[in-house]
Amino acid sequence: MLEIVVTPARPGTVVVIDGKPVDAAQLAALEVDPGRHVIDVQSPGLPPATRAVEVEVGAREKIVIELDVPSRGGYRHAAYITGGIGLGLLAGTAVLGFVGRDRYDNASSLDEQNRWKSIVRYGGTSMFVVGCAAVTTAVVLYVRGRGDTRESSAQLAPIIGGDQLGLSLAGLF
């Protein structure tokens, strides 16, 4: 007989023994044949866990399966990196603007002026938009990493079909 305890206990956790799902109510006293058994546990938002056990004849064993809960420290680290990239892009936008203005003012031909105007217009605007998005993302990541104990999960999946190619993001935040 097995008693299976899964920590942390979360709604939606599925326990599978030897390829067969087990009802959560049976986990406290589960009759199994003697021998080797493989226990798989899947819980939403957590990596799956697998454990092999050897059950002796007439033995009663308590099996504790601890699921790895990812630490939230990664949010702060990602916030610093993303914020640094965003601030670098914003600084690059300012430098491009000053250099472009100088080159525009000192241009010897109308074509050269138009070239620098386009470089600043399209390059500077793109860098500014991406830099602002990165800084905003960094602020959100920093706030999310302040020790919030709520769990979140995200899934990123490719979308390929017909004339479409893209990414889908779904999850709980």
Collect all residues with Cβ–Cβ distance below 8 Å to 107 and sequence separation of at least 6.
Answer: 113, 116
| 87-115: average pLDDT | 96
The pLDDT of 107-124, averaged and rounded, is 95
pLDDT at 57: 85
Cα 82 to Cα 97: distance, rounded to the nearest angstrom: 23
pLDDT at 107: 94
What are the sequence ranges of the domains in the chain? 2-66, 73-148
pLDDT at site 91: 96
Query: Is a pLDDT exceeding 60 seen at residue 46?
Result: yes
DSSP-derived secondary structure for 101-167 = HHHHHT-SSHHHHHHHHHIIIIIIHHHHHHHHHHHHHHHHHHHHTTT--S--EEEEEEEEETTEEEE
99's tokens: 């250099």
Question: Which has the closest alpha carbon to 92: 130, 44, 46?
Answer: 130
Tell me what percent of the residues of the chain surpass a pLDDT of 90. 36
Give 77-95 pLDDT, tens digit per residue.
889 999 999 999 999 999 9
Answer with the residue of higher pLDDT: 163 or 23: 23
The answer to whether the beta carbons of residues 53 and 1 sit under 8 Å apart is no
**pLDDT mean across residues, the chain:** 85
Q: Greater confidence, 91 or 17?
A: 91
CATH architecture, range 2-66: Sandwich (2.60)
Q: Is the pTM of this model over 0.75?
A: no
